[in-house]
Amino acid sequence: MGVTSSAAHLGFLVTLGLSVVLLVAALVTAKLHKVKAHIGVVAAMVVALLATIYFAEAVGRHYYIDANMQRIHLPLAFLAAGTLLAPLTTGFLHWRGRVGVKAHKISVGIWGVLLLLALGTGALMLMASKPHESFAPGEGFVPPGESLTTPPRETPTPTPSPN
């Protein structure tokens, strides 16, 4: 059974807020050179980010997603998720004394830019999409069970009334 619309929205807002707070805490603990706290907060942030992705997906299931925005958002979201490995790896290597802090900072910067782009385009995509209850068939929207490559459905032409 899927998550209800309100539970998905609430879960998304809570986990997104938590992720942002933990990201700020990761930056603050790093600046203060509190390494153990930094690593702990980063671990919690990764879990919060995974939960955010889960709830974002659950929210999306209650919308007819705008196909054009989805084409822009999805690659950025996958890039942001994938490049999270860069700050995690360089952070670990810096901790073990294998790379300088500069490599870690650069990877944090690259990931941060992609994360902002993913969040921004995700918000724009949701704004351009329609909740299921307000659906009016139209081009650019992907009904459930159909993919981006499904050709648009033909709109039935109204049959003229006999009189």
Q: Which residues bind ligand HEM (CB under 6 A)?
A: 26-27, 30-31, 33, 35, 38-39, 42, 84, 87-88, 91-92, 94-95, 101, 104-105, 108
Q: Which residue is nearest to ligand HEM (CB)?
A: 91
Shortest gap between Cβ of 127 and ligand HEM (angstroms)? 27
Closer Cβ to ligand HEM, 34 or 130, answer by number: 34
- Quote the distance between the C-alpha of residue 127 and its chain's center: 14
First to last CA, the chain: 48
Residues in CB range of 22: below 8 A, 6 or more apart: 41, 44, 45, 48
Closer Cβ to ligand HEM, 38 or 73, answer by number: 38
CA distance 137 to 124: 20
Closer Cβ to ligand HEM, 28 or 148, answer by number: 28
Shortest gap between Cβ of 100 and ligand HEM (angstroms)? 10
Contact 67, 138 (CB under 8 A): no
